[in-house]
Amino acid sequence: MIYFDHNATTPLDEAVFDAMLPFLKRFYGNPSSLYRLGRLSRTAIETAREQVAELVGVHSSQVVFTSGGTESNNLALAQLAPGHRCVASAIEHPSVLAVVPQNQPITTVPVNTQGQVLDAAIDDLGLEANDFISIMRANNETGVVQDIAPVFARLREQGIVCHTDAVQAAGKIALEFDALNAQLMSLSSHKLYGPKGCGALIAARDFTLKPLLRGGSQESGIRAGTENVAAIVGFGKACELARSELEPRWQLLLQLRLHLETELKKLPGCVIFSEKVDRLPNTVQFSIAGVDGEMLQMQLDQKNIAVSSASACSSGGGEPSAVLLAMGVDEQTAKGAIRVSFGKANTMQEIDTFIENLKNIIRT
Ligand SMILES: Cc1ncc(COP(=O)(O)O)c(C=O)c1O
């Protein structure tokens, strides 16, 4: 099988699996228990916290483990101060846009035709101190990388709380928390070869987080519930690998992307979305005139090739991509969208096979 859907999820790295296994079998102690078996789990969690912290250049005390990107985003938005406004870019993931913090709808900030957030539109909103803004570091569909550091620097000076969803950026591009000028940043383990159902929210040192899940005192009282020890251990290992392998992974992914784009451009009627701007090295979203994305995805599936026709969470609904519509792409073209997202085990030969199959399908 050719798997080209790494923005939906990644396979578990063998080394991650090996790190997790003892915590699924022998070391089952509750990390809150004071005896040896419990202490072993606690130590493993703290090691993982350091591994996650190192990937994004923060102190381990700034890492709060969650059940994944969705919870991290929900926890971030729960920080909105009562009576204040919440703003997010129009292309955020549903785990931001579907949240209704403090029972108020989120105000959305438009993007340009390349999928870049319009800074001037943020200024027009007249945000005030303690208002909250969420702008993703990289988009899950187009792969567009947002230049959030300058705008966040300005907003923070005005006392506005800045959050970035870095779920798709982590492990694909360098991710230094402090350099982004965010106070909050979401991560997810299964997008970087770790297990599903695990993630983290990174908070600035001076930021006092309010809990979303209440109960026990786990995660310093910010996230109650017995920790998913094996998943946290796996997430930590995945972050360690992502850090040490970042450069070679980036090089490979970019070469794959450029090769695919060169071949796609030879196909009549093919549009590559956000082609002209900074994008993740592994992501290409495109549409071919007169070809339906969902149909194409199903035909590729019959050839044992996995791609996405919209973001994984919204696919199946037959709706055009909300991200592309926000970029001003017409409905017909948006319905044709296919997202290819590479991973570290993909090869040039797989791209050639993909292109060959694509040509055969569109010819018939
Ligand atoms: C940009 C972005 N944010 C958040 C999420 C949600 O992460 P999780 O699946 O870990 O809940 C995803 C998953 O697709 C995503 O792409």
Whether 187 and 56 have beta carbons less than 8 Å apart is answered as: yes
Question: Do residues 216 and 327 both lie within one domain?
Answer: no
pLDDT of residue 158: 97
86 labelled catalytic: no
Q: Which pLDDT band holds residue 316 (cuts at 50, 70, 90)?
A: low
Based on the fold, state whether residues 310 and 161 are members of the same structural domain. Answer: no
With beta carbons less than 8 A apart as the criterion, state whether 287 and 336 touch.
yes
Q: What is the mean pLDDT of the chain?
A: 96
Q: How many CA atoms lie within 13 A of 336 on its CB side?
A: 17
Last residue of a domain, one of 219, 244, 269: 244
Residue 63 parent element (H or E): strand 63-66
Closest C-alpha residue for ligand 1 atom 4: 69
pLDDT value, residue 317? 58
| pLDDT confidence tier of residue 272, bands split at 50, 70 and 90 | very high
Task: Verify that 113 and 29 share a domain, yes or no.
Answer: yes
Catalytic residue from among 162, 198, 239, 313 = 313
Q: Which residues contact 333 (CB under 8 A, 6 or more apart)?
A: 271, 287, 289, 324
261 — pLDDT class (breaks 50, 70, 90):
very high
Q: Are residues 167 and 86 in the same domain?
A: yes
> Is the same domain home to 140 and 286?
no
List the CATH number of the domain containing 283.
3.90.1150.10
pTM of the full structure: 0.97
Range name among 87-91, 238-242, 313-317 with the lowest pLDDT average: 313-317
Does residue 314 have a pLDDT over 80?
no
Ligand 1 nearest atom to the CA of residue 92, by list position: 1
Q: What pLDDT, on the 0 to 100 scale, is given for residue 211?
A: 98
Does 199 share its domain with 228? yes
Residues 112 and 233 in one domain: yes
Q: Which atom of ligand 1 is nearest to the CA of 70?
A: 11
Q: What is the pLDDT of residues 174-220, one digit of tens each?
A: 999 999 999 999 999 999 999 999 999 999 999 999 999 999 999 99
Report the run of H or E that residue 255 belongs to, with start and end: helix 246-264
Q: What is the pLDDT of residues 71-84, one digit of tens each?
A: 999 999 999 999 99
Contacts of 120-127 with C-beta under 8 Å, sequence gap 24+, read: 122/87, 122/151, 122/155, 125/85, 125/87, 127/85, 127/87, 127/155, 127/158, 127/160
Residues in the chain: 364
Q: Give mean pLDDT, residues 248-261.
A: 98
Q: Give the helix ranges, DSSP H, for 25-175.
A: 36-56, 69-77, 94-97, 119-124, 148-157
Which range marks the domain in which residue 336 is found?
2-9+245-363
Give yes or no: residues 161 and 223 share one domain. Answer: yes
CA distance linking residue 21 with residue 26, whole number of Å: 8
pLDDT, tens digit, 9 for 90 and up, residues 19-69:
999 999 999 999 999 999 999 999 999 999 999 999 999 999 999 999 999
Our count of domains for the chain comes to: 2
312 — pLDDT class (breaks 50, 70, 90): very low
How many separate helices (H) and strands (E) can be counted in the chain? 13, 12
Average the pLDDT over 145-152 and give the result. 98
- Domain shared by 71 and 168, yes or no: yes
User: Is residue 313's pLDDT more than 50?
Assistant: no
Residue 188 Cβ inside 6 Å of ligand 1? The answer reads yes
Question: Cα(251) to centroid of ligand 1, in Å?
Answer: 24
Give pLDDT, residue 222. 98
How confident is the model at residue 319, as a pLDDT?
A: 85
Say if residue 7's pLDDT is above 70.
yes
State the CATH number of the domain containing residue 94. Answer: 3.40.640.10
pLDDT digits over 87-102, tens only? Answer: 999 999 999 999 999 9
Q: Please tell me whether residues 269 and 237 are part of one structural domain.
A: no
> Do 175 and 277 have their domain in common?
no
Residue 337 has pLDDT above 90, yes or no: yes
- Ligand 1 pocket, 69 CB below 6 A? yes
- Which whole number is the average pLDDT over 102-118? 96
Pocket test for ligand 1, best of 92, 95, 339 (most atoms within 8 A of CB): 95
Are 307 and 222 found together in one domain? no
* Tokens of residue 155, six digits: 């907003």
Q: Which of 93, 135, 144, 212 maximizes ligand 1 atoms within 8 Å of its Cβ, making it the mutation to test the pocket? A: 93
Domain-ending residue, one of 195, 212, 244: 244
Using the 3D structure, point to which of 227, 244, 261 is the last residue of a domain.
Answer: 244
The atom number, within ligand 1, closest to the CA of 197 reads 10
Half-sphere exposure of 131 (CA within 13 A, CB side): 19
